[in-house]
Amino acid sequence: MTKAKIIETSGAISGAKDLRPEIFGVHYNDCFINEAMKEYLRKNFTGSTKTKAEVRGGGRKPYRQKGTGNARQGSIRTPLKPGGGIIFGPKPRVKPNTLNKKKKNAALRQVLSRLASEGKIYFAEALDFKKTREAAGFLAKNFEKNSKLLIVTEKQDKNFALSFRNIKNVSLERAADLNMRKLVYCDGVIFVGAAIDGVKA
């Protein structure tokens, strides 16, 4: 049975809490996680060139149709001229994440299970800090400076988030919005209250 360390508001570890084996106790497949991570890191292509219609200028015919000895031209922004539009040039395009819901949930369960096996899952019954100094002192009791931490809550609380906002490498997330990308590089994950039962995977 995998367990989460119970952490008090003072920062002291006061025991362990059993975790759901179907979420925190599954087999970790490194190859599958690598493939899933590639999908999460897939970037949209933003390069763009202008076509003849998008290049500025060229509204007037550059010279008369006949009698000049030149090829017929209707615009100085034709792709055949310097400074003209680009034929079949790149345009922005979205590369959608091809992971389906079943694979996303499987990746989330596997990463949570790995973190649990490494002792990086913590559970706090309640946290209610008013100042950043208090929140930083709480974290310093169990984590090294600049550790990458994720605090998972059941719902968003602006006042609670403000106490952690200026602490480097600490971020907050709702349990319902968790995904493996947000967890895979974490040094520690703290679930607050009912958030530990609100993970949808």
pLDDT in tens, 17-32: 888 888 888 899 989 9
Residues 109 and 185 in one domain: yes
173: left (phi over 0), alpha (psi -120 to 50) or beta: beta
pLDDT 10s digits, 44-83 = 888 999 998 888 887 888 889 999 998 888 888 889 888 8
Residues 102 and 128 in one domain: yes
When divided into structural domains, the chain yields a total of: 2
Which tokens go with 134?
A: 């208090």
Indicate the burial class of 163 (C-beta count within 10 angstroms; 0-12, 13-18, 19 or more): buried
Which tokens go with 197?
A: 């039962």
pTM across the whole model? 0.74
Residues 185 and 144 in one domain: yes
Find the domain containing 58 and state its range.
44-94
Would you state the pLDDT for residue 49?
92
Residues 102 and 26 in one domain: yes
